[in-house]
A and B are shown apart, each in its own frame.
Chain A
Amino acid sequence: MDVTLLLWAVANGVMVGSIYGLIALGWVLIYKCSGVLNLAMGELTLIGAYLCLTIYTFLIKIGHPLPFVSALFLTLLACIVMGYLTERIFLDRLIGEPVLTVIMMTVGLMFVFRGLVGLIWSTDTRIFDPPVFSYDAFFIGGIIIERVYLWSMVAALSLWIIFYLFFKYTPWGLSMQATADDEMAALSLGISVRFVYSAAWIIAFMTAAVGGAFLGAKNGLNISVGELSLLVLPAVVLGGLNSVPGAIVGGIVIGVLQELSGFLLDPYFPGGVKDTAPYVFMVLFLLFKPYGLWGWVRIERV
């Protein structure tokens, strides 16, 4: 077997995995803040990415010097508004309801958002034009590395550090963790659950937008990017649903696993191994270690 090819597959996996890590971070954060598995995550990614793209194209047209950074910044501002509105309109009344109700609500939101994205931006693939990151890749030890991946890795790592510190040291982060652990107890201790929920949704929107923007900058955008974020679920499970470092590590591991399985198994199957291997891995992983590597094990009493 060609060692260089294998190394290339691993490196590529790490790179793709860092984007997965970014999106996985969104899942983990909203779970960590509100105890909800947000199935609308893929659509949040789509909305963020499309918004970023639209603003980017506009800024290019008026000749702005720093189009991508400004577009991302403006998108994040819009995400604050959208996250707040979504929470206030759809999820505010569900505080105190069973978690499964809230999950189903995110399913409803998923359909609404996907329909809206389809209506506004239609289904054609759109690309960032001119490309955000130059295509002239550079080599490290004979392995090609694309700039997009490098920058998304930087973004993932910096977000990871920010949120790690946020959850560990700020009162907001602590109150969010308390709410996720036990909503009723948090309410009775005077934590504003409404505030925590809206903050959680704002954060989810923002991380999804960052992940989506990088994905879009790499491959172009169409509605199937939303489905890609479901592929991130195995990464979340691997790291544990409420572990911020776990999201990044899980993302990278799943990325490597995907590339390797594609590389090693594709000759034996008619294709599609790459997209399915993470799920097979997830089912097996759930059977043996359901709470992931760093997730909280819940002890239940009657």
Chain B
Amino acid sequence: MSTFLPCGTYHETYAQDHAFWQTRFIRGKMILLALVAFIAVPFFLTDYLSEFILFIYWSLGALGVQLLIGYCGQLTLGHAAFLAVGAYASFLIMAMPWPQFMLDMGVVYPLVLLISGVIAGIWCVIFGLPSARVKGFYLILTTMAAQFITVDFFIAKYISQIGGRQQDLTLSSDLVKFGPWTVDTKRDIYYFGLILTILMGFMVVNYIRSKPGRAWVAIRDNDIAAESMGINITLYKLQAFFVSGFIGGVTGAFWGASRNIISVEDFTFGKSLWLVGIILIGGVGSIHGVFFGAAFMVFMIWALQEIVGMVGGTGNIIYYKEIAFGLAICGFLLFEPNGLAYRWWQSKNYFNLWPFSY
């Protein structure tokens, strides 16, 4: 899905062809978006900051799932497990006796973020190993097993018991420091998430337009053909699992930093399905889709809470949420199988090619 350029725009060098922002109009749009994201949201929409943080969390989490499902074609229904691994790893490593000068300099948390991402990535690769032999729904079963083994057994029975039974792990917010910048207010958390999203977004986009990404797409489209063309599919599949798990782990760590407390309830099987639902609604195989899907979800839940709050019956909100989510997935699969990103692509092309859209 490449976007058509407006009439009269030609590329003469490869650098132009590979550029992120190919016309001045697009650059202007992006600057506007950055202004909105960096200034308008944190300073003028302060009432909705929690919703925006949730949006960032969902889109970061779904980014890893998108890479695995949308680009590498490896269906995963257990991604919340890797989020959980990242979150718990970041909390536990942060609780280690770090030297005081490192804490003061604020280099510990960035390090912890990286390490927890890597741990989650390795954990993801372990459960991706069967993908060398099986695919399709057999792989779904393996990833579901990852969910139950990791969250319901290891984390619920062992790791969350550290520091006392029935006691959730906590992380004091003044430990979350990047150099001199302490992430403690809501606005700081928002900025932290935003920068993380931009970094991860660039990482995924660059992965996808370089060699591994092309290999992943080839594996997604037809793995046997890809193998016969000389692509080492096991290696690339595992690489996709690693990158996806890494993003998942970083997302989990971000979730932990934004809440300062984590429990097993945050990473249930339902959450895994929720992440897959986001990319289904946003559009499978599209980076835009992640953000559209996450925005749709956050907006849907917010609207639902408002409506239910007005009508009454807030006790059943969890069931209304589940029904709405399920119907959204079903509706999108039936009526808009390419997701919201496809609509966006179509309308963009309509304006790019106007008035002669042939």
Contact = CB atoms under 8 A, between A and B. Distances in A.
Interface stretch (B192-200, B255-263, B325-333, B346-354): B325-333
Given A104-B276, A302-B228, A272 B333 contact: no
Contact of B334 (A90, A99, A115): A90
A94 interface: yes
A197 to B, nearest CB: 15
B48 interface: no
Interface string A237-249: 1000100000000
B142 A272 contact: no
Interface residues of B, number: 50
Contact of B158 (A90, A112, A113, A270): A270
Contacts of B316: 118-119
A78 B277 CA distance: 30
Interface string B298-342: 000000000000000000101111111111111001100100000
Given A104-B280, A112-B323, A282 B224 contact: no
B145 interface: yes
A165 interface: no
Contact of A110 (B137, B149, B152, B326): B326
B152 A237 contact: no
Interface in B176-224: 222, 224
Contacts of A287: 129-130, 133
A105 B333 contact: yes
Contact of A283 (B137, B145, B337): B145
B314 to A, nearest CB: 13
Contact of B152 (A115, A276, A283): A276
B326 A272 contact: no
Contacts of B152: 272, 275-276
A100 B136 contact: yes
A101 interface: yes
B37 interface: no
Interface string B259-289: 0000000000100010011001000000000
Contacts of A276: 148-149, 152-153
Contacts of A93: 334
Contacts of B228: 302
A200 interface: no
Nearest to A113: B326
Interface string A78-100: 00000000000010011001011
A114 B322 contact: yes
Contacts of B65: none
Interface size range on A against B: 35 or more
A115 B127 CA distance: 30
B137 A111 contact: no
A168 B357 CA distance: 56
Contacts of B142: 282-283, 286
B156 interface: yes
Interface string B125-139: 001011001101110
Interface in B99-140: 127, 129-130, 133-134, 136-138, 140
A132 interface: no
Contacts of A131: none
Given A100-B136, A107-B277, A115 B320 contact: yes
B157 A105 contact: no
A109 interface: yes
Nearest to A277: B153
A6 interface: no
A99 B156 CA distance: 33
Contact of A279 (B138, B148, B321, B333): B148
B93 interface: no
Nearest to B73: A100
User: Which of B224, B324, B333: most chain A CB closer than 10 A?
Assistant: B333
B137 A94 contact: no
Contact of B273 (A111, A116, A283, A301): A111
B150 to A, nearest CB: 10
A280 B328 CA distance: 33
Contacts of A271: 157
A94 B141 contact: no
B169 interface: no
Contacts of A272: 152-153, 156-157
B75 interface: yes
A6 to B, nearest CB: 24
Nearest to B316: A119
Task: Name the 4 nearest CB pairs between A and B, nearest first.
Answer: A111-B326, A108-B329, A115-B322, A112-B326
Interface of B: 75, 77, 127, 129-130, 133-134, 136-138, 140-142, 144-146, 148-149, 152-153, 156-158, 161, 222, 224-225, 228, 269, 273, 276-277, 280, 316, 318-330, 333-334, 337
Given A111-B325, A276-B149, 19 more contacts: A99-B136, A105-B333, A108-B329, A109-B326, A111-B277, A111-B326, A112-B327, A119-B316, A119-B319, A230-B148, A270-B158, A275-B153, A276-B153, A279-B149, A286-B133, A286-B138, A287-B133, A290-B134, A290-B138
28 contacts: A100-B75, A103-B140, A104-B329, A104-B333, A107-B329, A108-B326, A108-B328, A108-B330, A108-B333, A110-B326, A112-B330, A114-B319, A114-B322, A230-B144, A233-B144, A237-B138, A270-B158, A272-B157, A276-B148, A276-B153, A279-B144, A279-B148, A282-B142, A283-B130, A283-B146, A286-B142, A290-B134, A301-B224
